[in-house]
Structure 1
Amino acid sequence: MHVDIIPNRNSRPAILLRESWRENDKVMKRTVANISNWPPEQVTALRRVLKNEPLVSPSEVFSIERSLPHGHVEALLEMIRLIGLDKMIAARRTRERDLVLAMIVERLIAPSSKLATTRLWHSTTLAQLLNVEDADEDELYAAMDWLLERQPVLEKRFASRHLGEGQHVFYDVSNSSYEGHCCPLARLGHDKQGRRGKPIITYGVLTDVKGRPIAVEVYPGNTGDPSTVADQVEKLKERFALQRVVLVGDRGTLTQTQIDILKTHPGIGWISALRSENIRKLAANNHLQLSLFDEKNLAEITSADFPDERLIACFNPLLCDERRRKRQELLDATENKLQKIVDEVHRRTKTPLSASEIGQKVGKVINGYKMAKHFELSIADGEFSFKRKAESIAQEAELDGIYVIRTSESRQNLSAEDTVRSYKNLAKVEQVFRTFKSIDLQVRPIYHYYAERVRAHIFLCLLVYYVEWHMRQALAPLLFDDEELAQDRKERDPIKPAVSSKSAKKKKSTKTNKEGFPVHSFRSLIMELGTRSRNRCRLKSAPGSPVISQDTEPTPLQTRAMELIRLYPVDGS
């Protein structure tokens, strides 16, 4: 008997168990059974039995000495190779480059301290693939110092790849808490996460129009956002050799002082926004009126206070409602605290509170919610009363939902709608900061003693985000991310709130994509890829035999993820 495989033109082949014999000069065959529906491994086993070959279970031949997660390491290293980050860091493979790449991949898998990194990357195939199994934390610190020396070169390479003459460059500033008191960069300042009592470190990030990080600069924690702008101008003009760019920053960074400085640099344009006091002044001078928005939610206005600038006034009714609701809540909260002081003053009849004592109590609460400007206070010995300033509240309410974008760009270069869109694209820089501080990268807490090590740590996180940005673009069909967002941002009403596309809503409701695969967050997809393992096997019959590595078969989801990465179109614009 033997197994015969009969090919079919339009369907899978037929697998038949047959016996054969010879009659005279003819070979005769008879089909004993049709085994086409058997699993392939059973068919293979039957063929070996019919050939009198011994059957041995793989577990009797091989021993699996160790199994390490491998799929996520493979995917991340493949993306690094595709986007050419390894060659950008150093053209030739070196020990330092391998250590830097290993730190980048490990931070995307399990962000941790440098000491923990040298432990954790042995729990995957990362250390083995990059040949850094013997590295300790001192080598990682030395590799960080080596990387910091290459930061100017790397940033210039990013700029030459992703920036061009006349393009918009986005800039914003954030900070992170520091654990300890040794680093000279760690200073007490305004922590943007609202933490108090801990020193912080400030850093500013430049990105291109798509949100890819280009450069980062680290400053002492007490550095104001506006004072960092001059360094970015120098970087754009001198280091990146760009003659014509448009710098986009928020109103807290591109202040009037900084804009006056930008005007002295030919070729540097800007897009920013006016502060609330400037908007109130425009309204007081009748340059800004609600009637401007009767037919359209944006309007261009002019003012002698802002010569050679275009001002685009925008009105968002949803933002208007939100600000009125929030103001009412803050007024009520402030009023509740003041009422408690009134009640306390009334209770103190035997030993009345003096005016100074009442003033101290009031001073601690009156501006806790930034509402002091809307209350009129009356303080005397043993007496305290307050009331709301209705006129002040009404004047502020008139400007609810109104904001004004300012730019140096002409109408020929940039329409009013595109100006607003560009300003709102600052959200892409804010996405960098959110990722830095989330479970994805965990830039904080920062422990490094030396200022240069902190700078290297922040720059390393920038490179990590650069890889994650590309990974998110490639794997978007498997993520909850809105795949139509980039195109939608170019076409939608710049004033109205963003609305998810139909495909994104469907993914969120069904938890599956159009191919039927379950959709993931970036973190859970990385962990899913990591379930594909690499097994280290050895022959049981020969204890000293060479090690055999064998990867587990990928799941359909893992196969699709690797297809998306390998098909990812890498461009430089």
Structure 2
Amino acid sequence: MFLKKVTIKKEGKTYSYYKIVASYRDKDGKPKHRLIQNLGVLSDEDATRMKMILQVQQDADLSLTKSSDIVVTKHWMFLPILLLHSLWEKFNLHRFFSNGLLTEAMVLNRCIEPRSKIHVMEWVQDTVLPAIHRSSAKPSDFAVYRELDDLNKRESALQAHLYQQLLQFDPSVGEGFFYDITSTYLEGSKCVIAKLGYSRDHRPDLQQIVIALMVTPLGSPFYWKVLEGNTQDVTTLPDVVKELKKRFGLTRCHLVFDRGMVSDDHLNLLERQELTYLSAMDKDEMASHSLFNEFMPEPASKDDYEQILALHEFQPTDENQFFYTREGQIDQRRFIFSFDVTRFYEDIESREKRVAQAMAWITEKNDSLAVAKKSRNKETIERDIKTMIAKRKLKSVLLVTVTPIELTVTKSDKTTRIVQSFRLSAEIDKNKEQQKRRLDGITCFITNDLNIPQRDVIQKYREKNKIEEAFREMKSQLALRPIYLTRPERVKAHVSICIIAYLLINSIEIILRNSGIALSSEELLRQVSSCQLNQVGLKSSTQRSLTITEMTEQQEQWVKLFHCEKMMKPKVINQFDDFLLKNTL
């Protein structure tokens, strides 16, 4: 039976009537309708209700109820999991981790809402990830730690796997690699590789580890190593070179690294291994370099820098003449000296500001010393001066003299006594200041690549902020720190989890950028979070069914962009339905 609408035109007007009919075939097999009931004129709302009544009568799975009796009894995180899982599969991590529910859970949790390892097990049960993996057994609380142990054993193989996958996904792989190290601290744990050292997190009071990381120019990570917390930057490069040759089979590699790692020993090592490199010289090292003394023998000022640059053969590299370069070569090494006019002014203003601050500090200190009521300790004052000079980066430029003085202090009984105090006087060492001024606005880039244009050398070195961005994202969005684990193997595996998570996060941003979409990965995951898989039912019934939250147009766009359509097909949703309902009721 069904509701049939009959339209009649009479005297220029249109009338609609409804009737209930049933289909049948006559003796010749022709389909016809049998009238069951004439209903007459119905409003659109009444017609819709009648259609539903007829459907319920003919389908045992359908029932009519009040909207207030329909309840959502449970929901699972859906669309964020699907988007990230699509990237997990893109990098074939589902094959590398053949039984990888726990590993994927830890990685995806870092991307979405980081929790401690033991609480990841609770989190994953509220997502569709177990249904994707068809894993009905809830892992024990300690299974995650065994998974970390296993991950650490496979770290080398994982890095080799990721590199091979990036060859297909990241077009910048052949353009070079950015390398740097950072540190992160441990909280409330004692790990044998955790040491006190130079803290880039400004927590020198806590033990830390050092993380060496290598990424492609687009920011995709593929090599990392966890080192003891007191490891110095300059000592890490030789091992990286060995790993590049052994683990990834690279015969040629354009390596971009920070100036803190530049030394003759390192550059010689890279040249012996036939690896090309690009870096910059440290300011102190540049100041004593023979080419710098030849190219910039005297400091420039705001009034004469153009004449000084022209005199020493610096050439403008842009139409506005904000950048100048001069290049020299010693053996197979190119030294490109760049003069940045904007930074030249900033360096001058910064030094003048720091000098003014130091002089104000000395004036304030003298005012305090001049009214001292007790004798002052010279060593303490000299230590304070040393700290102040170091903080304002005026070492060797600012000379402070401490002169003893005697003060007469009147006591409460009107008698007097003598206390020892001091007076500070300061002057600028003109010769040292002149040497510092020669460095204003100057950067020296160094490379053994004889073919790369100057402009590309400078641009590639500036692009190394990709690795700084990776460290920043891992420490903030992915909650790399603080680390509460104790065993070194698990600390290392935790770092691996965060780096795989960053690979997925960075890949989202690559895909968005390639599509011309100015959106961060964090914002995208927030936008899709409202699309959940919901368990619905009636208050008076134990029957339950699953439904997906209706997607917005924007969410449908993300599904297409990340090729998740296959996960939205009715067949897959029905599998989720069978699995989740079976493991929930």
TM-score by length of 1: 0.78
Q: Given the alignment of the two structures, is residue 436 of structure 1 paired with residue 474 of structure 2, yes or no? A: yes
Amino acid at match of 2:357: A
1:301 lines up with 2:327 in the alignment: yes
Displacement after TM superposition at 1:280 (Å): 2.3
The separation in 2 between residues aligned to 1:224 and 1:462, in whole angstroms, is: 21
The answer as to 2:251 corresponding to 1:243 is yes
Match 2:394 to one of 343, 353, 371: 371
Q: Give the one of 270, 273, 276 matched to 1:269.
A: 276
Give the alignment partner of residue 309 of structure 2, picking from 290, 312, 322: 290
Deviations 1:452-504 (A, max 9, x none): 11110101111111111112223448xxxxx76xxxxxxxxxxxxxxxxxx96
Structure 1 residue identity aligned to 2:150? W
- Change in CA separation of 1:433 and 1:20 when aligned onto 2, cut-off 3 Å: closer
Quote the Cα distance in structure 2 between the aligned partners of 1:449 and 1:51: 62
* Residue identity opposite 2:533 in structure 1: R
Match of 1:68, SS state, is: strand
Q: Measure, in 2, the Cα distance between the counterparts of 1:52 and 1:123.
A: 33
Gapped regions of structure 1 (runs ≥ 5):
7-14, 478-482, 485-502, 505-519, 569-573
Aligned mates of 2:494, 2:343 — CA distance in 1: 38
Map 1:327-476; keep pairs closer than 5 Å: 327-348=351-372, 353=376, 355-356=378-379, 358-382=381-405, 383-411=423-451, 414-438=452-476, 440-476=477-513
Change in Cα spacing, 1:284 to 1:347, as seen in structure 2 (3 Å) is: farther
Deviations 1:18-41 (A, max 9, x none): 45899xxx99xxxx9898xx79xx
More strand by share: 2
Distance 2:56 2:107 in 1: 53
1:359–1:431 Cα change, 3 Å: closer
CA deviation string 1:502-546 (max 9, x = no partner): x96xxxxxxxxxxxxxxx543243133121121223466653x5x
Report what 1:280 is aligned to.
Answer: 287
Answer yes or no: is the 8 Å Cα contact 2:506–2:521 preserved in 1.
Answer: no
Aligned letter for 2:499?
A: L
Is the CA contact 2:276–2:449 (under 8 Å) kept in the aligned structure 1? yes
Instruction: Return the alpha-carbon distance in structure 1 between the equivalents of residues 489 and 244 of structure 2.
Output: 22
CA deviations 1:107-163 (Å, max 9, x no partner) are 111112112222233343344544366223310011111111221111112223335
- CA contact 1:341–1:361 (8 Å) conserved in 2: no
Q: Are residues 1:530 and 2:570 paired?
A: no
Structure 2 vs 1, CA of residues 45 and 274 (structure 1 numbering), >3 Å: closer, same or farther? same
Change (3 A) 1:355 1:474: closer
| Residue 214 (structure 1) shift | 0.6
Change (3 A) 1:196 1:423: same
Alpha-carbon offset, residue 563 of structure 1: 1.4
Change (3 A) 1:287 1:43: farther
Structure 1 residue 158 and structure 2 residue 162: aligned? yes
1:45 aligns with 2:49: yes
Task: For residue 433 of structure 1, report the CA deviation from its aligned partner.
Answer: 0.3
Find the partner of 2:149 among 123, 145, 149: 145
Secondary structure of the 2:536 match is strand
Question: Match of 1:381, SS?
Answer: strand
**Secondary structure of 2:360's aligned partner:** helix
Identity value in percent: 22
The answer to whether the 8 Å contact 1:173/1:203 transfers is: yes
Correspondence for 1:104: 107
State the 1:564 CA deviation.
1.2
C-alpha deviation, 1:393, in angstroms:
3.2
Q: Which residue of 2 aligns with 1:117?
A: 120
Q: Summarize deviations over 1:291-312 as a string: whole Å, max 9, x none.
A: 3445322434225xx4321112
Q: Offset at 1:181?
A: 4.9
| 3-state DSSP of counterpart to 2:259 | coil
Match of 1:445, as an amino acid? P
In the superposition, relative to structure 1, how do residues 346 and 159 fare at CA in structure 2: closer, same or farther (>3 Å)?
same
Aligned residues: 500
Structure having the higher Rg: 2
- CA displacement at 1:43 relative to structure 2: 6.2
Q: Call closer, same or farther: CA 1:135–1:51 in 2, change over 3 Å.
A: closer
| Greater displacement, 217-226 / 532-541 | 532-541
Instruction: Please give the alpha-carbon distance, in whole angstroms, between the structure 2 residues aligned to 1:387 and 1:221.
Output: 40
For the residue of structure 1 that corresponds to 2:560, the secondary structure is helix
Secondary structure of the equivalent of 1:371? coil
SS at match of 2:550: coil
How far apart in 1 are the matches of 2:316 and 2:433? 27
On the 8 A contact 1:73/1:530 being kept in 2, the answer is no
1:221 equivalent in structure 2 = 229
Could you say if the C-alpha distance between residues 321 and 116 of structure 1 is closer, same or farther in structure 2, counting changes exceeding 3 Å?
Answer: farther
Q: Which whole-Å deviations, capped at 9, do the CAs of 1:71-109 have from their partners, x for residues lacking one? A: 21222222322332222x23xx32xx1110111111111
Q: Matched residues in 1 for 2:130 and 2:124: separation?
A: 6
Structure-2 change in CA distance of 1:138 and 1:16 (3 Å): farther
